[in-house]
């Protein structure tokens, strides 16, 4: 997915209006811009097929929904980050605001923390009163927040993926009674299900922060950047249809997912190949 969309992000805005011979059909005529929308269409078609296949195969575990939301939000953030470079990470936006590196370090740290601390709330004695917070020893050995931002942008993005995927692997099988167990978030009495659903909204919250930082840095997105983000969003919705499911359910939707990714790869390669793109006046 990321490699195919990376190829599309490398296209310049001034190329979007150029003719693109999609499918090499001599009777058809479109433009490079449609390569992005064709990718989105393929992903959206697969999302519908995958959802129907999963629905026919069985019931989705209740906790899987929280992680489906989280992975959709994760890919939207990747869509914002796709056009950035390592040199953007430490540029000071001013006004005592966080750099992009600091924001991304915080995102990864908290995505790891939600399942780690939720595990303690699951194991505590449910008969007693709800404690005001988890004990301090729960955090012993946990990574420092700043350490999550060390390295290149790709390394930090990989760390984010690890955090989201590890949380799903660890907790996606929780049942309704476990999700209903008492917990706290920011001092408020909630349940474990609330904390897991918070993974999605936390990602969305700081995706907006990244966008605001880019405005402060004078880095408005190009049209290609906006289009690539739409493709990442569409992929996130597709992955959400099968994410964190038991293997038997996920495998039911494998075919439409593979078909969509194959088409993305083909579109990205074709739009970059010599002869597939012509000038507006060529015929």
pLDDT tens per residue, range 110-152: 999 999 999 999 998 877 899 999 998 888 889 999 999 999 9
Residue 120 pLDDT:
94
Alpha helices in the chain (DSSP H): 2-9, 33-57, 64-81, 100-123, 153-171, 176-179, 192-216, 223-240, 247-252, 254-272
Q: Residue 117 sits in a domain of what CATH number?
A: 1.20.120.450
Average pLDDT of every residue of the chain: 91
Q: For residue 173, is it within any domain?
A: yes
Which run of H or E residues covers position 185?
strand 182-185
Q: For residue 263, is it within any domain?
A: no
Phi then psi dihedrals of residue 245, to 5 deg: -95, 155
Q: For residue 94, is it within any domain?
A: yes
Domain that holds residue 93: 84-220
Residue 48 pLDDT:
95
Q: For residue 92, is it within any domain?
A: yes
N-terminal to C-terminal alpha carbon distance within the chain: 32
Q: In DSSP terms, which residues pair with 77 in a beta bridge? A: none
Q: For residue 89, is it within any domain?
A: yes
Q: For residue 62, is it within any domain?
A: no
Q: For residue 161, is it within any domain?
A: yes
Judged by DSSP in three states, 55 sits in: helix
Cα 172 from chain centroid (whole Å): 17
């Amino acid at each position: 997915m990321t490699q195919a969309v990376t190829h599309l992000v490398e296209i310049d805005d001034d190329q979007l209006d150029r003719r693109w011979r999609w499918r090499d059909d001599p009777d058809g005529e479109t433009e490079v811009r449609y390569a992005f929308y064709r990718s989105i269409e393929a992903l959206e078609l697969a999302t519908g097929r995958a959802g129907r296949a999963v629905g026919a195969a069985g019931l989705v575990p209740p906790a899987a929904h929280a992680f489906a939301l989280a992975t959709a939000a994760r890919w939207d953030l990747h869509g914002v980050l796709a056009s950035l470079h390592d040199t953007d990470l430490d540029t000071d936006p001013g006004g005592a605001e966080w750099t992009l590196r600091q924001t991304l370090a915080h995102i990864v740290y908290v995505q790891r923390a939600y399942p780690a601390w939720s595990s303690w709330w699951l194991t505590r004695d449910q008969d007693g009163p709800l404690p005001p917070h988890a004990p301090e020893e729960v955090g012993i050995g946990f990574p420092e927040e700043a350490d999550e931002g060390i390295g290149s942008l790709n390394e930090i993005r990989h760390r984010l993926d690890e955090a989201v995927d590890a949380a799903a692997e660890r907790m996606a099988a929780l049942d309704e009674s476990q999700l209903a167990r008492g917990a706290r978030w920011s001092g408020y009495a909630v349940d474990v299900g609330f904390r897991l659903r918070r993974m999605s909204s936390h990602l969305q919250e700081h995706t907006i922060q990244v966008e605001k930082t880019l405005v402060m840095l004078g880095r408005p997105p190009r049209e290609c950047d906006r289009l690539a983000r739409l493709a990442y969003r569409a992929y996130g919705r597709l992955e959400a249809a099968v994410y964190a499911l038991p293997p038997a359910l996920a495998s039911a939707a494998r075919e439409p997912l593979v078909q969509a990714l194959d088409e993305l790869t083909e579109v990205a390669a074709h739009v970059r190949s010599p002869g597939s793109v012509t000038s507006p006046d060529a015929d």
